[in-house]
Amino acid sequence: MAEPPTIDVPDQDDHVRDLFDRMTRAYLRSVLSDELIAEHARGDHGHVSEPLARLLAWCHRRPRQQQYAVKAEADGSFRLIRFAGRGQKPVYVGDERFVTLQAARHGAFLRHVQDLTEK
């Protein structure tokens, strides 16, 4: 008995995720401002504005390989890393060292903003 021909059907979930991501990016680029970046730099994350909350949620929802993390170094400084994938070592992002954890977190935030505006 012959096998029926396989039909390559695109994954509709991927299509919807891509559409949602494009719409989200468009919204985030429209609300991105120096004031929003300054709000994050102040570090008062108890109650943030709606645009900042949405931007932070987008940062956290990104695929793991596109997220940034902070690594504490032996000398007390902090550096940004990016996860390379399952079973692989993280990769350092740039040579910049941060004195405080808050500064490093803001550095990661700025990397996300850079990623958002480049695509």
Which residue type does 83 have? F
Q: What is the pLDDT along the chain (119 residues), one digit of tens a residue?
A: 677 766 666 677 888 888 998 999 999 999 999 999 999 999 876 789 999 999 999 999 998 889 999 999 999 999 999 988 788 899 999 999 999 999 999 999 999 999 999 86
Domain map of the chain by residue range?
18-118
Residues 6+ apart with CB under 8 A from 46: none
DSSP assignment of 27-73 equals HHHHH--HHHHHHHHHT--SS--HHHHHHHHHHHHS-GGG-EEEEE-
pTM of full prediction above 0.85: no
Sign of CA pseudo-dihedral 47, 72, 100, 97: negative
